[in-house]
Structure 1
Amino acid sequence: MRAIWKGAVSFGLVNVPVRLYSATENHDVQFRQVHREDGGRIKYQRVCSIDGEQVSYDDIAKGYETPDGQMVVLTDEDLADLPISTTKEIAVDKFVPADQIDPLYLDKCYYLEPDKSAIKPYALLREALSSTDRMALVTVSLRTRMTVAVLRVRDDVIVLQTLLWPDEVRPAEFGVLDEEPAEPNKKEVQMAHLLVESMAGDYEPEDYTDDYEEAVKAVVQAKLEGGEVATPPEAADDDGQVIDLLAALQQSVDRAKKKRGEKTG
């Protein structure tokens, strides 16, 4: 891995020099737009919507469109004068209970690697986070933008995970939930609990694979080898019948038990 940032974590009077690494990578299948006849890549020209003229890169600027449709052109000089912080410090503001951080706010994730001379204070911070079940709320400047993040521990490594700003999380506004709720009865709740227990288990990431990616790669390989591409069978359509909730839960429990080799009933 290649470090994308170097700096230091500071909490109290303790300073821990670290390097930052991306903790995740995108493996989504990427397609190119090509000419159907010969496979040539499609190119796009940069054309002005007003005069129709092709525009060179040197004549392209950044524009900010206001809510009422006005366009404000910003130059490199305008952006260079912004009061942004470029400090190389991950400053701990406070240590907060881990359950106070809504997972919905968690964004990009990075690993923190300590310098060889800072292994002990790094381990100290890691132990403090783990033993107190808290996260460190920090501010950090990444790619010229100051952002809020948290430090947490994963497999003996301190992880920095940026947080979304409050206005970036949409409210869940569904009118149907404001109506009079149809409360499940006692038997349905008991059966739902039984279903949860019958399907209980541990999360093993290796148990799940990206079926779409594998299917696309298989099609590509078949075409490369000059073979025929088989069309997968279509899933059977649901007959649309509405099943009683309690009966559906019972069937689910029986199915889960049968899968485990347990008696049903």
Structure 2
Amino acid sequence: MWKGAVSFGMVTIPIHLYAATENKNVTLRQVHESDGGRIKYKRFCTADGEEVPYGEIAKGYELSDGQMVVLTDSDLSELPLPSSQSIDVLEFVPLEAIDPIYFDRSYYLEPQKAATKPYVLLRDSLHKSGHVAIAKVALRQRESLALLRVYNDVLVLTTVLWPDEVRTPDFPFLSEETPQVRAQEMTMAGSLIESLSEPVFEPSKYQDSYREALESLIQSKIAGKKTTTPPSAKEDEEEVSDLMSALRASVSAAKKTREPSGSGKTAAKGTKKAAGSTRGKAAATDEQATDEQAEEKPAEKRTRTRRPAKGA
């Protein structure tokens, strides 16, 4: 959820922004056909062949000669962006003045508490005028043009492509002599359009036939118990094995470096003391790990039963 404000003139409307659309495509994963195991990809550096942790990945702009301009998060954070919490209205234009080819993605705007009146004022004014508002907004670290319009009594923000993002058609037939179309052909084409015309667009009349067929195929395989349980990932097992080997080697090396030169009794005391120290460090480490986990994870409800109150 994005929280900000619509600003036009001296009026500010605090709002929440929600995605107005969702992808309903059936998600299919790449798997090994023989056993259903998921295909896993790793990030490797082409220069040294090493796997690169996500935290070490930056963005780069490649030049025509193969040189790379590396851009870090710090570099990008210094670029000028409008307030990420503001939708700044620039002007108002008729909706039909904007070709749909510029439309990108739409979001619903919900007024925050105490902002309903100015929200309704802008909504009803736009509806009455037949205009839409052209605005600028920063979403996902990118400045976008957008338009504000009314849809089902709700203000909708639709991001708009920049002019240089829309390609100019350059097809050979556009520069050739235009074929002559006979009047009779134009009349017949007009009749066909008229016979298939409807007063309004009703999207509920249409279905995604491919998606429905794919869902039916999946359900039939489930009903016929044609499923498979993928084997455990070997990479994870190898990582655990490597970790155990490293720990054993570390313990062995630590024992050799701590072997005493004196009596066994002194050594035992030293070992006992060291063990106690190790337990203390381990306990401290466990506490630190628990604190870090508590910061990373949301609070969980306690399951302990509380002592009943007096008089209950």
Q: Counterparts in 2 of 1:112-123, with a 5 A limit?
A: 112-123=109-120
Q: TM-score, normalised by structure 2?
A: 0.68
Which residue of structure 1 aligns with residue 9 of structure 2? 12
Q: Counterparts in 2 of 1:128-167, with a 5 A limit?
A: 128-167=125-164
Q: Indicate if the aligned counterparts of 1:62 and 1:75 stay in contact, CA closer than 8 A.
A: yes
Q: Indicate if the aligned counterparts of 2:43 and 2:51 stay in contact, CA closer than 8 A.
A: yes
Could you tell me which runs of 5 or more consecutive residues in structure 2 were left unpaired when the two chains were aligned: 227-312
For residue 215 of structure 1, the aligned residue among 209, 213, 216 is: 213
Q: Which amino acid aligns with 1:217?
A: E
Mark the CA change 1:55 to 1:33 in structure 2 (over 3 Å): closer, same or farther.
same
Q: 1:74 & 1:217 partners in 2: Cα distance?
A: 43
Q: Which structure has greater helix proportion?
A: 2
Number of paired residues? 225
Which residue of structure 2 aligns with residue 100 of structure 1? 97
Q: Indicate if the aligned counterparts of 1:111 and 1:157 stay in contact, CA closer than 8 A.
A: yes
Deviation at 1:87, TM superposition (A): 4.1
Could you tell me which runs of 5 or more consecutive residues in structure 1 were left unpaired when the two chains were aligned: 229-265
Q: 1:215 & 1:68 partners in 2: Cα distance?
A: 48
Q: Which amino acid aligns with 1:80?
A: S
Which residue of structure 2 aligns with residue 111 of structure 1? 108
Q: 1:137 & 1:117 partners in 2: Cα distance?
A: 25
Q: Counterparts in 2 of 1:18-167, with a 5 A limit?
A: 18-167=15-164
Deviation at 1:227, TM superposition (A): 8.0
The percent of aligned pairs where both chains have the same amino acid is 53
Which residue of structure 1 aligns with residue 170 of structure 2? 173
Q: Which amino acid aligns with 1:225?
A: A
Q: 1:55 & 1:115 partners in 2: Cα distance?
A: 43
Deviation at 1:209, TM superposition (A): 0.9
Q: Deviating runs (4+, > 4 A) in structure 1? A: none
Mark the CA change 1:16 to 1:54 in structure 2 (over 3 Å): closer, same or farther.
closer
User: Which moves more between the two structures, 52-61 or 173-182?
Assistant: 52-61
Q: TM-score, normalised by structure 1?
A: 0.80
State yes or no: 1:196 paired with 2:198: no
1:18-41 CA deviation, whole Å, 9 max, x = no partner?
Answer: 111100001112211111111000
